[in-house]
Chain A
Amino acid sequence: TQLLEQSPQFLSIQEGENLTVYCNSSSVFSSLQWYRQEPGEGPVLLVTVVTGGEVKKLKRLTFQFGDARKDSSLHITAAQPGDTGLYLCAGANYGQNFVFGPGTRLSVLP
């Protein structure tokens, strides 16, 4: 059974701070996605990474896929209150269903 772990589970920081959240597995994935979910809404896709070692940037968010395609990180620079939410990672392999991590709940205080 493929499992994804995320750390930390909860993170509360002040506006302007930097942070990194992690998504780890013992399994290899062909692609990995990061989502942000706000209360009362569905998860919204932030990025998909497919190549080992790949780095993608989305404004102040930097995503990295591990070389072995088993792990990923999300780094936020100068966090803002609008970054508050639940961050989910999900791994995918062709022909198999998606595997979701439990999420990291981020709170950015003004």
Chain B
Amino acid sequence: DAGITQSPRHKVTETGTPVTLRCHQTENHRYMYWYRQDPGHGLRLIHYSYGVKDTDKGEVSDGYSVSRSKTEDFLLTLESATSSQTSVYFCAIAGSYQETQYFGPGTRLLVL
């Protein structure tokens, strides 16, 4: 299994608070991704990174920001959490040729 961890695995927070989710990889892969998965919507890309300090938006990036200061870490921040951001968040990694993605175990976030 690819070495990808996510923390926390579960979080409950209140509307309006900032939340940061962490993805850590030990594979030295170039690409890292954040997805959210919701019933009826499947996996939707939030942001991705193609190198240290190189990031770009995905299809559902509003309300989210990311940072990647080291190859192994990719942080997702909900600037001011809303109930619509209640979801399961997955981090994924891919090598330079982007042929295959490997997923982390997910973070289940509940915004009250």
Please report A residues at the B interface, Cβ cutoff 8 Å: 30-31, 33, 35, 40-45, 48, 50, 88, 90, 92-98, 100-103
B98 in contact with A92 (CB, 8 Å): yes
A88 in contact with B43 (CB, 8 Å): yes
A33-B101 contact, Cβ under 8 Å, with A43-B90, A100-B42: yes
B74 interfacial by beta-carbon distance below 8 Å: no
A45-B102 contact, Cβ under 8 Å, with A100-B43, A101-B42: yes
- Write the nearest CB–CB distance from B101 to chain A, whole angstroms: 6
B101 in contact with A41 (CB, 8 Å): no
- Write the nearest CB–CB distance from A43 to chain B, whole angstroms: 5
Is the contact region of chain A dominated by helix, strand, or loop, or is it mixed? loop
B101 in contact with A42 (CB, 8 Å): no
Ordered by A's residue number, 8 sampled pairs between the chains whose C-beta atoms are within 8 Å are: A31-B99, A42-B104, A92-B98, A92-B101, A94-B98, A97-B33, A97-B48, A98-B94
Count of A-B residue pairs with CB < 8 Å: 53
By a CB distance below 8 angstroms, the chain A residues around B75 are: none
Please report B residues at the A interface, Cβ cutoff 8 Å: 33, 42-43, 45, 48, 58, 90, 94, 97-106, 108
Closest A residue, CB atoms, query B44: A100
A44 in contact with B103 (CB, 8 Å): yes
- Write the nearest CB–CB distance from B108 to chain A, whole angstroms: 8
A97-B42 contact, Cβ under 8 Å, with A42-B105, A42-B106: no
By a CB distance below 8 angstroms, the chain A residues around B104 are: 42
B98 in contact with A45 (CB, 8 Å): no
By a CB distance below 8 angstroms, the chain B residues around A94 are: 97-99
- Write the nearest CB–CB distance from A63 to chain B, whole angstroms: 13
Q: Which 9 A-B pairs have the closest CB atoms?
A: A42-B103, A100-B43, A102-B42, A31-B99, A48-B100, A43-B103, A42-B105, A42-B106, A42-B90
B98 in contact with A95 (CB, 8 Å): yes
Contact of B100 among A33, A41, A100 (CB under 8 A): A33
Closest A residue, CB atoms, query B31: A97
- Write the nearest CB–CB distance from A86 to chain B, whole angstroms: 10
Cα distance A100–B42 when bound, in Å? 8
